[in-house]
C-alpha cells in the first residue's frame, strides 16, 4: 500500500468535510426561509458519510486489491429533514395560513455553528495528514540523493 495512495485518502476526507460544511452554511443562510421552490419552509440538509475504497489514478489495475484495505470517505447521500416545520404565530406575515401561523425551518443555528466548527477541524486534520504524508515521501526521496 503506497504512500501516494494515502494522499488520495486524505483528499477524500477533505472533500467530504467540505461538502458537509457547504450544507451547514446553506442551513445557516436559510435559517429563516419560509418559502422555497418546492413550497413550504426550508428543510435542513445533512450529509451522510460512508467509507469507500479509494483508487489511485496512478496505480495499475492489479493493485486495487491491496489498496482496498485502506478506506477513504465519500458523501453518499444528502438527507433532507422530514420533521414537521416549526410553527410560529405571526399574523401579518405574507406566508401566514388562515390561523396566522407561519411555518419556519426547524433548525437551531447554534447547533449548525458547532457542526461547522467540527467540519472545519475535520478539514484541517485531513490537511495536516496530507502534509505529514508528503513529508514522509520527501524524506524517502532524500534517501536516494
In angstroms, the Cα distances linking 78 to 16, 35, 91, 129 are 12, 20, 34, 26
Give the chain's radius of gyration (CA, Å): 22
C-alpha to C-alpha distance for 72 and 54, rounded to whole angstroms: 6
- Binding characters for other proteins, 126-145, by CB under 8 A (x = yes): ----x---x--xx-xx-xxx
Beta bridge mates, 86: 104
Binds other proteins (CB under 8 A): choice among 30, 59, 118, 120: 59
* Residue 17 · residue 122 · CB < 8 Å: yes
C-alpha to C-alpha distance for 41 and 46, rounded to whole angstroms: 16
Please say which residue, 4 or 89, places its beta carbon nearer to other proteins. Answer: 4
Q: Stretches 6-14, 24-32, 33-41, 95-103: which one binds other proteins (CB under 8 A)?
A: 6-14
Please say which residue, 84 or 145, places its beta carbon nearer to other proteins. Answer: 145
51 lies in the site for other proteins, by CB under 8 A: no
Residues forming contacts to other proteins in the complex (CB under 8 A) are 1-4, 7-8, 10-12, 14-15, 18, 57-63, 66, 130, 134, 137-138, 140-141, 143-145
Amino acid at each position: 500500500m503506497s504512500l501516494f495512495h494515502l494522499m488520495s485518502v486524505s483528499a477524500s476526507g477533505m472533500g467530504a468535510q467540505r461538502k458537509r460544511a457547504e450544507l451547514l452554511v446553506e442551513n445557516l443562510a436559510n435559517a429563516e426561509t419560509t418559502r422555497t421552490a418546492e413550497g413550504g419552509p426550508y428543510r435542513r440538509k445533512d450529509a451522510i458519510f460512508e467509507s469507500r475504497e479509494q483508487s489511485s489514478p496512478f496505480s495499475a489495475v492489479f493493485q486495487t486489491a491491496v489498496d482496498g484495505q485502506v478506506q477513504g470517505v465519500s458523501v453518499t447521500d444528502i438527507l433532507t429533514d422530514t420533521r414537521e416545520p416549526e410553527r410560529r404565530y405571526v399574523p401579518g406575515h405574507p406566508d401566514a395560513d388562515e390561523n396566522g401561523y407561519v411555518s419556519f425551518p426547524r433548525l437551531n443555528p447554534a447547533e449548525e455553528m458547532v457542526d461547522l466548527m467540527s467540519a472545519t477541524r475535520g478539514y484541517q486534520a485531513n490537511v495536516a495528514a496530507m502534509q505529514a504524508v508528503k513529508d514522509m515521501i520527501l524524506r524517502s526521496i532524500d534517501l536516494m540523493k
